[in-house]
Amino acid sequence: MRNKDKVILYPAYFDSNKTKSGGRKLQKKLCIQSPKLQELEIAARALGFEPTPEPKSWWERSGRVIVNKKHRKSEVIKEVARKMRESR
């Protein structure tokens, strides 16, 4: 069953090396090169999204982070991307 209170974030959403069809969700100027799962988790925690990391598995190479949904998914992604850029 789908949980409407949560948003799933993958590092590929924020990877400037990826194409839009390859999983990137933002403009390249908002993205970073090769984001790590830990960076994603730290940025989400700093923004108060209460992240739950799920490490990689056999079908996912990068893992994912599940966060509480405070805004629309696109807004959450932009906020996390800005925070990740700040930390680098």
pLDDT in tens, 42-68: 999 999 999 999 987 766 678 999 999
Mean pLDDT of 7-35: 95
- The answer to whether 40 touches 65, Cβ cutoff 8 Å, is yes
Q: CATH 3.30.56.30: does it fit domain 6-87? A: yes
Contact between 9 and 44 under an 8 Å Cβ cutoff? The reply is yes
pLDDT band at residue 88 using 50, 70 and 90 as cut-offs: confident
Q: Where are the domains of the chain?
A: 6-87
**Which helix (H) or strand (E) is 86 found in, with range?**
helix 73-87
Prediction pTM value: 0.89
